[in-house]
Amino acid sequence: MFEGRALGYEGETVGEVVFNTAMTGYQEVLTDPSYKGQIITMTAPHIGNYGVTSEDAESRQIWAEGFIVKEASRLSSNWRSRQRVQDYLHEARIVGIEGLDTRALTRHLREHGSQQGLITHIDGDPKRAVAKAQSAPSIVGRDLATAVTCKEAYRWTEGTGEWAPSLGDKPRSDVTKRWHVVAYDFGVKLNILRRLVDVGCDVTVVPASTTAAQVEALKPDGIFLSNGPGDPEGVPYAVEAMRQLIGHRPIFGICLGHQILGLALGLQTYKLKFGHHGANHPVMDLLTRRVEITSQNHNFAVAMAHPISEMPEQLPVIETSFGQVLVTHLSLNDRSIEGLASVDHPIFSVQYHPEASPGPHDSAYLFTRFTQLMEKQHV
């Protein structure tokens, strides 16, 4: 039991309690559809000091089930701010809490793992509150992508504009749209779509349930699999669609899309103890040996038959029914798999978020790698 002050909308909410270590980007975190089913604890002690603006939203609404902070700032001091985070939560009917010891809560989650929790402003009975938390459904096996995906296909044309990261030596004005990409929306963040446009893609976003035949009918140059909430084993229809599409088009997956590709290739996934949530996670690219600081948000990961305990000298190889798959990236925190690439097919994926928002731009090059893969297929 942690006691604090009411924040946001007055009411009650349940969800899996996780912690996020990002120091900024709370609005992008709240509007990331990957947080559907979860209550977010921010480890940074002061949240809301630069306010909220519609430009920073990563989807059409807040998806988190609840919000936990040490202190929500009463003052929004930024020229871009349009409202306080308290008012933003209230308008979206998001139940939150502040004033509790978020360090103690984070230690508890690290020691005991992510677990179902309840925030209540209306029921002061501890026994009833604990019982409600204990009876809340787990995210394991649940199809949460259905709740956050688009209802029908649409075109996306907006890039990141003045906020775009560098594309190397090539001037941004020289980038022309050449590649038609079908993007599966399992809970896609808007900045992913902007990054695809930045590198020259015409993007058609399709619902999570779109079949392989429907994708083929669109005749794309490449297929993108987005991030999303919950357990990848909860979306078997997406895994089956990928099995049918492997070998037909270049495929790039991020986060849940990475896990879906792993399952489609015949690998397994597992639930992490407390997940990876933050904008400061170190990952090593095993091909270049460079370390990238990454933005992450996932509770599941792709498994290997023999977990990697030490940093390998060569890229680990996994034999699958679709040929050999290389482990290309590893977490420096826990050695979990952060990237895969097929030897025999134009496929690669990463567990983290190269589009950032929030987070650093260390991994933005992966979107260019996707266009290079499509270009290679056309040679």
Nearest Cα neighbor of 182 from 147, 144, 208 is 208
Q: CA–CA separation, 86 vs 69, rounded Å?
A: 11
Question: What are 336's two structure tokens?
Answer: 């979990």
The Cα 65–Cα 230 span in angstroms is: 13
* Omega before residue 232 within 30° of 0, cis: no
328 within 8 A of 340, measured Cβ to Cβ: yes
Pairing of strands 222-225, 179-185: parallel
Q: Which residues are catalytic?
A: 255, 353, 355
Cα–Cα distances (Å) from 314 to 96, 124, 294, 322, 327, in that order, read 46, 56, 22, 21, 9
Q: Which two tokens stand for residue 244?
A: 């049918």
The percent of the chain in helix, strand and coil, each rounded to the nearest 5, is: 25, 30, 40
d(CA 322, CA 266): 8
Task: Tell me how many helices (H) and strands (E) the chain has.
Answer: 10, 19
Q: How many CA atoms lie within 13 A of 308 on its CB side?
A: 25
